[in-house]
Chains A and B, each alone.
Chain A
């Protein structure tokens, strides 16, 4: 039993590393990401910077926008590379191979998430550094460990949401794809990518907190622009909320994946590529 547990642990870790390898090595062989994922988003972010400057808004708002722009990369990665990945894997024949292997599907999703996070962090970091230099942004960090904690918990919750979506994609195919399309822009608004989320009004902001980015960005902004007062909740509350969201979403993803797999096996959706 002990050996079995050890074997399961080893095979799942190896599977996750192998799946992450595709993301990390594969993406680095296509250098076009420097243009598409760093320079182009910087243009979009710059537009908001100039809007704030034209309005004579406090200079710290430039940092707000830049941070939001960087976090956009994670949302896009979760939506299109994480949630839709099982759908694309099925089209490319790989899904069957993952599903006949003696591994947890969560290991594959974890591999995708780790690879995705790694690559997106490089992109988001590049955007942040480049933007900070270009627009002369000053950060006033109150606690580096808390920033790291809030950031990590945000990513855990966000990629947990991606894992949950991936099982929906597996089941509903292109219909879920449309849902993702539908989610993209409203999440930009509701999470407060380019403004403090409190501006939406307290109750709307609370409702929007179901999206991990909302609490995550608010917490990180509070910690890196500590002299400003714009928060939805105190940092500690937001970090606790992110922890609960992360655990809940990961659990929900595992349950949904199990149920969706059973349903997909009954309906033949794991093997039918045209759905």
Chain B
């Protein structure tokens, strides 16, 4: 079986209390069909409340689906949960698992025992993983004395201790600094590449993380999968447009003729920004239909005496994909929610 995870018309409803004791049905997952291949890192990308965590809870046997079917590693999550549990593990970002009175190493040992791992192997794995994520110096520190980031590192290690076939990572880098996030992303990639039967299902609302890490990803919103493909294929859906960020050095009087750039073949839009005053440095944002228009743009600028001091070509991002599919932005750069309409 080449699929690690299959869901068919998966639906999950919750009965929620409303004012006046009236109960309403909230649909967290609405007919989700998904196939995750063995050996891939599959991402679920969506805003808070999209249904990502609900899906992971069902796949990890913590929650029953209202209807539909979910198969993990060839085992049905409803009828054969014990077989599923033998091959999975899960890490949730921001979780506070473990016992504060025990040390980091003791806590990790404890959780390794839930999978029957022999002590020697468990302790070797713990030490190696602590070394990788930079937690070795805290091995004998009681968990209640750890910082949030250190605790998250410990949780991350816990997920890998049982060497699962399928690992669910729910916002694994939440609350971690940039360097640690980078180390963790690199380790996830190496871990999957190391053995072809390992699979990771990852939820995130960090666009860069999804783009960098996932072989394929699904964009989820309001319990539905809106699109599912590789990050590059998803971005191609938005269009073939390229955005050129050009920095030029030019006198203020030379700017007016540059506006004619928009009339050039292949150029769709031009925006010029200056710092004002008598500054010589200006920034041009030029949207072109394809890469073929780039030489003509540069030639146009040179002919009008503008000196190109910087040039950057950008592709459509997953943020643009999300914007296109959902109609609003998902996150800011730092992961905070942006409520503006697209």
Contacts and interface: CB of A to CB of B under 8 A. Distances in A.
Interface of A: 7, 10-11, 14-15, 17-19, 21-22, 25-26, 29-30, 92-94, 96-103, 262, 265-266, 268, 270-271
Nearest to A94: B97
Given A21-B110, A29-B101, A99 B62 contact: yes
Contact of B64 (A21, A22, A101, A265): A265
Interface residues of B, number: 30
B109 A30 contact: no
A25 B101 CA distance: 9
A270 B114 contact: no
B86 interface: yes
Contacts of B60: 100
A254 to B, nearest CB: 15
A271 B97 contact: no
Contacts of B92: 93, 96
B323 interface: no
| The 5 residue pairs across chains A and B that have the minimum distance between CB atoms | A11-B116, A18-B113, A101-B114, A26-B101, A102-B85
B187 interface: no
B97 A268 contact: no
B313 interface: no
B300 interface: no
Given A92-B96, A100-B60, A271-B62, A18 B114 contact: yes
A28 to B, nearest CB: 10
Given A15-B113, A97-B97, A265-B61, 6 more contacts: A15-B114, A18-B110, A100-B62, A102-B82, A103-B114, A271-B62
Contacts, number: 86
Contact of A22 (B86, B90, B102, B114): B102
Contacts of A97: 90, 97, 111, 114, 158
A11 B99 CA distance: 20
A100 to B, nearest CB: 5
B203 interface: no
Interface string B74-114: 00000000100110111010011111011000100111011
Given A265-B64, A271-B57, A98 B95 contact: no
Contacts of A262: 64
B114 A94 contact: no
Main secondary structure of the interface of A (DSSP, over half): helix
Contacts of A15: 113-114, 116
Nearest to A28: B101
A98 B89 CA distance: 11
23 contacts: A15-B113, A15-B116, A18-B111, A19-B110, A25-B101, A25-B106, A26-B101, A26-B102, A30-B101, A92-B96, A93-B92, A93-B96, A97-B97, A97-B114, A97-B158, A99-B62, A100-B60, A100-B62, A100-B85, A101-B85, A268-B63, A270-B62, A270-B63
Nearest to A262: B64
A148 to B, nearest CB: 30
Contacts of B57: 271
Contacts of B61: 99-100, 265
Contacts of A99: 61-62
Nearest to A104: B82
Interface in B191-241: none
A7 B110 contact: no
A98 B60 CA distance: 12
Contacts of B86: 102
B310 to A, nearest CB: 48
A93 B62 contact: no
A94 B63 contact: no
Contact of A14 (B62, B89, B116): B116
Contacts of B95: 93
B113 A14 contact: yes
Contacts of A103: 114
Contacts of A100: 60-62, 85, 88-90
B311 interface: no
A271 B89 CA distance: 16
A53 B85 CA distance: 60
Nearest to A97: B97
Contacts of B109: 18
Contact of B115 (A22, A101, A268): A101
Given A11-B116, A265-B63, A268-B14, A93 B82 contact: no
Given A25-B106, A26-B101, A271-B62, A11 B89 contact: no
Contacts of A266: 64
Contacts of B98: 92, 94
Contacts of B64: 262, 265-266
A195 B98 CA distance: 42
A30 B142 CA distance: 13
A29 B110 CA distance: 17
B281 to A, nearest CB: 52
A92 B92 CA distance: 13
A92 B62 contact: no
Nearest to B60: A100
A232 to B, nearest CB: 41
B115 to A, nearest CB: 6
A69 B137 CA distance: 45
A262 B81 CA distance: 11
Nearest to A7: B116
